[in-house]
């Protein structure tokens, strides 16, 4: 690790050479990142000054590096302390280089099954890591009781309350307010793209499955997005830029969201996929635009439904799948259930809640 002050920048930039890369750090940014007690509260790490009051023309006068602890003297005669590794971590955080995702299809996926009878904090950590890397986790032996899913979700955070309540029934009912509540096939989809924000994770707990049919399908949406990018770059660009529209409406609720089927961050990384044939409402547009969108969506759909991408799981009583709703398309095969006893319970969790627990346990 080598440090140098850039003379070209009139001493406003510190260059850190790390892993054969020269990384520039701007003086005012560094000042703001100081861990001195008069700049940041030592307990909370929160800033005690107004950042816009920091001079723009601060010069870096001197630096000392000792055992990963960095000290910088600035032109206002103040001396500030840093943890060098924390500074370097900020770069990967800003660039959002998510190296953790393992893209999968039906052939190469290795399903890890967690046995809840042996649950401990290490297992909780592994469950959350599995959700982060593969987009889902499969847990067996969750108590087969009405709110049994809470025996695990309570270790992570609160279930999200929506207009349908908290933990909800997935059961065929007469006068269904959503097609989930019927015996029909549910084509692969992400849940509730008409909500903003869309719920981050789905806890799907089986209390009883049907004898015939009722299998769940899981598809890695990030892998599908990658396939689209490789095969049809033009269509990938269209799906990540064209704003379609989703709507859910009943007597008391109207939820609407305008969004793309593939969401990218500022660095063009895929951060969310959406598909929901039941609730998509095409926006009014020109024939040319609609034709192009429909054609791209068709190719996307062909990949989503392709057998080679579909993992089929028939959940048994006590089985729970936790699904990343920003990444995984899920579906359900239609079923025959003479006694109408197929019974699942489902809860949602906000994205930041689950990820907060993952960050603490990692
Ligand atoms: Fe769903």
Cα(155) to centroid(ligand 1), Å: 23
Nearest to 281 by CA among 270, 273, 293, 272: 293
Same domain membership, residue 124 and residue 217: yes
User: Alpha-carbon distance 243 to 50, whole Å?
Assistant: 38
* Residue 10 structure tokens: 């009139």
Cα(131) to centroid(ligand 1), Å: 17
Cα(317) to centroid(ligand 1), Å: 19
Same domain membership, residue 194 and residue 324: yes
Residues 261-292 have pLDDT tens digits of: 999 998 899 999 999 999 999 999 999 999 99
User: Alpha-carbon distance 218 to 111, whole Å?
Assistant: 12
Residues 89-114 have pLDDT tens digits of: 888 766 655 678 999 999 999 999 99
Range of the domain at 119: 113-361
200 touches 326 (CB < 8 A): yes
User: Alpha-carbon distance 226 to 134, whole Å?
Assistant: 15
pLDDT score, position 97: 56
pLDDT score, position 100: 86
Considering the domain boundaries, does residue 103 fall inside one? Answer: no
User: Alpha-carbon distance 215 to 234, whole Å?
Assistant: 34
Q: Examine the fold and report which residue of 41, 65, 95 is the final residue of a domain before the chain moves on.
A: 95
pLDDT score, position 263: 98
Alpha-carbon distances of 73 from 5, 53, 58, 108, rounded to whole Å: 12, 18, 10, 53
Q: Which residues surround ligand 1, an ion (CB under 5 A)?
A: 191
What is the block-wise mean pLDDT of the chain (362 residues), using blocks of 10 residues?
92 93 94 95 95 94 94 97 91 68 96 98 98 98 98 98 92 77 89 96 96 94 98 97 96 96 94 96 97 98 97 97 98 86 95 96 90
Considering the domain boundaries, does residue 357 fall inside one? Answer: yes
User: Alpha-carbon distance 24 to 319, whole Å?
Assistant: 50
Same domain membership, residue 77 and residue 163: no
CATH number assigned to the domain comprising residue 38? 3.30.2020.30
* Residue 183 structure tokens: 């015996």
């Amino acid at each position: 690790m080598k440090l140098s002050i850039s003379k070209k920048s009139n001493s406003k930039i510190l260059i850190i050479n790390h892993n054969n890369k020269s990384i520039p750090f701007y003086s005012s940014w560094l000042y703001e990142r100081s861990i001195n007690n008069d700049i940041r509260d030592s307990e909370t790490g929160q800033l005690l000054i107004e950042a816009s009051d920091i001079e723009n023309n601060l010069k870096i006068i001197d630096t000392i590096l000792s055992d990963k602890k960095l000290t910088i003297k600035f032109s206002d005669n103040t001396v500030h302390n840093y943890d060098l590794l924390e500074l370097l971590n900020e770069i990967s955080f800003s660039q959002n280089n998510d190296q953790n995702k393992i893209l999968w299809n039906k052939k190469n996926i290795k399903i890890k099954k967690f046995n809840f009878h042996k649950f401990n904090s290490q297992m909780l950590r592994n469950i959350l890591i599995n959700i982060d890397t593969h987009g889902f986790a499969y847990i067996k032996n969750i108590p087969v009781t009405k709110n049994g899913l809470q025996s695990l979700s309570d270790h992570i955070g609160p279930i999200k309350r929506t207009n349908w309540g908290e933990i909800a029934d997935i059961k065929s009912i007469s006068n269904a307010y959503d097609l989930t509540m019927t015996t029909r096939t549910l084509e692969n989809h992400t849940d509730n793209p008409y909500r903003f924000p869309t719920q981050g994770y789905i806890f799907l707990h089986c209390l009883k499955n049907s004898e015939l049919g009722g299998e769940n399908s899981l598809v890695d949406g990030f892998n599908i997005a990658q396939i689209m990018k490789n095969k049809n770059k033009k269509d990938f660009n269209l799906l990540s830029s064209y704003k379609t529209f989703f709507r859910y409406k009943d007597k008391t609720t109207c939820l609407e969201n305008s969004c793309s089927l593939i969401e990218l961050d500022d660095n063009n990384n895929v951060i969310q996929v959406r598909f929901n044939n039941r609730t998509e409402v095409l926006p009014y547009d020109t024939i040319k635009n609609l034709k192009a969108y429909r054609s791209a969506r068709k190719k996307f759909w062909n990949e989503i439904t392709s057998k080679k991408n579909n993992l089929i799981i028939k959940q048994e009583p006590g089985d729970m799948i936790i699904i990343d709703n920003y990444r995984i398309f899920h579906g359900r095969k239609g079923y025959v259930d003479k006694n109408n006893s197929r019974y699942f319970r489902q809860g949602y969790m906000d994205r930041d809640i689950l990820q907060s627990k993952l960050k603490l346990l990692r």
